[in-house]
Amino acid sequence: MTARRFVLIDRDGTINVEKHYLSDPDQLELYPGVAAAIRRLNRLDLGVAVVTNQSGIARGFFDLDRLEQIHTRLFALLEADGAVIDGIYICPHGPDEDCICRKPLPGMVEQAVAEHHFDPTRSFMIGDKEVDIDLGRAVGAVTFLVRTGHGPSWVAGTKADHVVDDLPAAVKIIEGLVAAERACASSS
């Protein structure tokens, strides 16, 4: 049996509405259709991992306890609509710190791989910034730049495999890619 494939998703600007250093769980607002899209990934038996730079911790805007409260709310909002994420992986460091987890470096993906045992070269990466695309390319994933969040500012120069309006549009393409791959495998 082969390992389950994973979809790696940026948080701010991709899953939830971009807020400048979101630090209040009550301000967490999902983009329309996000929970249903993640539920569709669940039905395809794809794992879902959130990978998110959270330099607001290093900058002193909030702490790990507050971030945990935000993520507890995120899990609750998604689960209320029948959507499940397998894990959230964070980089709490600032951009000037020498860490291996800050996107576009692969540390968060390596953590997810260690926990869930998937092949990152068979995964998909969805985000609203070019660092998300660079992370996806670094690990060999198929990449999607969404136009939500900061996405519009990156479209012209992106190296993404796909540019889409939002997370649900990315999931629609993933559904097609997975269906085609499964059809090829079953006819072999």
CB count, 10 Å around CB of 81? 12
The residue length of the chain stands at: 188
Q: Is 10 a catalytic residue?
A: yes
pLDDT computed for residue 1 by the predictor: 41
pLDDT in tens, 14-45: 999 999 899 999 999 999 999 999 999 999 99
* Maximum distance among all Cα pairs of the chain, rounded to whole angstroms: 55
Instruction: Give the pLDDT band (50/70/90) at residue 172.
Output: very high
24 is catalytic: no
Long-range contacts (CB closer than 8 Å, 24 or more residues apart) made by 95-101 = 95/55, 97/58
Q: What is the mean pLDDT of residues 63-73?
A: 97
pLDDT for position 186: 84
| pLDDT for residue 48 | 98
Q: What is the DSSP string of 107-165?
A: HHHHHHHHHH---GGG-EEEESSHHHHHHHHHHT-EEEEESSTTHHHHGGG---SEEES
Q: If you average pLDDT over residues 61-68, what whole number do you get?
A: 96
| Pairing, β 87-91 against β 142-146 | unpaired
The pLDDT, as a whole number, for residue 16 is 98
User: Considering 12, 132, 134, 166, which one is annotated as catalytic?
Assistant: 12
Digit-coded pLDDT (tens) for 140-159: 999 999 999 987 887 888 99
**The predicted structure's pLDDT at residue 2:** 58
**Candidate list 10, 128, 132, 166, residue with the active-site label:** 10
Give the closest residue to 67 by CA, choosing from 91, 95, 94, 103.
91
Mean pLDDT of 161-188: 93
pLDDT for residue 7 is more than 80: yes
Nearest to 116 by CA among 51, 56, 43, 25: 51
**Confidence label for 182 from pLDDT (cuts 50, 70 and 90):** confident
| pLDDT range class, residue 128, cuts 50, 70, 90 | very high
Average pLDDT over residues 167-179: 97
pLDDT (tens digit per residue) in 79-97:
999 999 999 999 999 999 9
Q: Would you say domain 6-187 falls under CATH 3.30.9.10?
A: no
Domain ranges of the chain: 6-187
- Across the chain, mean pLDDT equals 95
| Rounded distance between C-alpha atoms, residue 62 and residue 48, angstroms | 25
